[in-house]
Structure 1
Amino acid sequence: MARVGAELRRQDFVEATIKVIAEHGVADATTRRIAAAADSPLASLHYVFHTKDDLFYAVYESLFSQLQQAMEHVPAGPTPAESAAEMLRQLITWLASHPDLARAQSELFFWTLRNNPELARKIYTMAMEATEQAMERAVGPQFDKTRLNTVSRLLVQLADGLLLAWPAHGDLEQLKVETETACLALKLLVENL
């Protein structure tokens, strides 16, 4: 059996954790189940991640990294309002095309909120900072810090709401319609700030 480096093994565990959480929820995301999904010995999981919180935080880092990479390619619109709406549209489109990631992110955030509120705040702050950075790239210097923060917060709140509603109704076409309605709301806010 070939040896696998710690960094590669780490990514295998993160990917396995996302799949397990998406399929079974956080409560049933045991380290045994995660190790099995990664096709790895349980001892390797405990060697790479000393605690489950360390593993879950690594999952968040991976999710944010993937989302940031997806948001780097959002084309700037002709106006800041169009740029903000396109960011939301692209974010939801990307998450809809990666349903395991979307489901795992929601599951993990609510579990963390109940079990480790300090980590949940840290994660939410990290998400807001990443969104503000992406928004700043999309709209350029046209927004001051307060406006940037307001628009970014609304974008995150709209995205969170859409991603909570989607599994409830399970209809991708309805998600697209709801996303366009949310994009319109975001555009109206930006135009009137």
Structure 2
Amino acid sequence: MARVGAELRRQDFVEATVKVIAEYGVANATTRRIAAAADCPLATLHYVFHTKDELFYAVYESLFNLPHQALEHVAAGSTAADSAAEMLRHLITWFTAHPELAKAQTELFYWTLRNNPEMASKIFAVASEAIERELERAIGSQLDPAFLQSTSRLLIQLVDGLIIAWAAHKDSARLKAETETACQALKLFVANR
């Protein structure tokens, strides 16, 4: 049997953790269950990730990067308001195409908020900074730094709220209509800076 590098195993464990959390919830995401889902020995999981918090943070890092890749496709050069709304649309589209990841991210964040508030704060800060960078890339210097930060935080709050509502009602047509309402609100917020 060929040896698999630690980095590849790391990704296997991250993907398995997402699946386990989406199916069983964070409270039932045991390291045994995660190792089994990754088809790896439990000892390998503990070798690659020394603590469960370390594993969960690696899941967060991967979850940050995936939806933000969708933001690279938001065209730069339109108005700041249009760009912000388009970013919101792209994020919702990405999450609806990956419901398992959306569910795992939400579950994991609330679990972390209860069990490790410092980590939850760090995770929110990293997410805000990533959205801020993408907004800045798409709209350039159209917004001053303080307003750019406010806009990125509002965008995150809208995405989170829409995804949580969609998880509850499971109606894609309703999500699309609610997303357009949120996009209009975001556009008004940015346009009236």
- What's the TM-score once normalised by structure 1's chain length? 0.98
In structure 2, the residue matched to 1:151 is 151
Per-residue CA distance 1:107-164 (angstroms, 9 max, x = gap): 0000000000000000000000001001101111111101101111110110110011
Structure 1 counterpart SS, 2:105: helix
2:35–2:41 Cα contact (<8 Å) kept: yes
One-letter amino acid of the counterpart of residue 56, structure 1: F
1:77–1:86 Cα contact (<8 Å) kept: no
Per-residue CA distance 1:2-60 (angstroms, 9 max, x = gap): 21110000000000000110111000100000000000000000000000000000000
Structure 1 counterpart SS, 2:140: helix
Q: Distance in 2 between matches of 1:68 and 1:178?
A: 21
Q: Distance in 2 between matches of 1:115 and 1:33?
A: 20
Structure 2 counterpart SS, 1:141: coil
Two-structure CA RMSD over aligned residues (Å): 0.8
In structure 1, the residue matched to 2:9 is 9
Q: Distance in 2 between matches of 1:77 and 1:34?
A: 44
1:22–1:101 Cα contact (<8 Å) kept: yes
In structure 2, the residue matched to 1:56 is 56
Q: Distance in 2 between matches of 1:121 and 1:60?
A: 12
Q: Distance in 2 between matches of 1:191 and 1:59?
A: 35
In structure 2, the residue matched to 1:78 is 78
Counterparts in 2 of 1:84-95, with a 5 A limit? 84-95=84-95
In structure 1, the residue matched to 2:103 is 103
In the TM superposition, structure 1's runs of 4+ consecutive aligned residues that sit over 6 Å from their partners are: none
In structure 1, the residue matched to 2:35 is 35
One-letter amino acid of the counterpart of residue 29, structure 1: A
2:78–2:139 Cα contact (<8 Å) kept: no
1:19–1:100 Cα contact (<8 Å) kept: yes
One-letter amino acid of the counterpart of residue 90, structure 1: H
One-letter amino acid of the counterpart of residue 70, structure 1: A
- Structure 2 unmatched runs, 5+: none
Aligned identity (percent) is 71
Q: Distance in 1 between matches of 2:176 and 2:39?
A: 36
Offset at residue 65 of structure 1 (A): 1.3
Q: Distance in 1 between matches of 2:11 and 2:180?
A: 34
In structure 2, the residue matched to 1:186 is 186
Structure 2 counterpart SS, 1:183: helix
In structure 1, the residue matched to 2:164 is 164
2:18–2:104 Cα contact (<8 Å) kept: yes
Offset at residue 77 of structure 1 (A): 5.7
One-letter amino acid of the counterpart of residue 69, structure 1: Q
- What's the TM-score once normalised by structure 2's chain length? 0.98
In structure 2, the residue matched to 1:174 is 174
In structure 2, the residue matched to 1:141 is 141
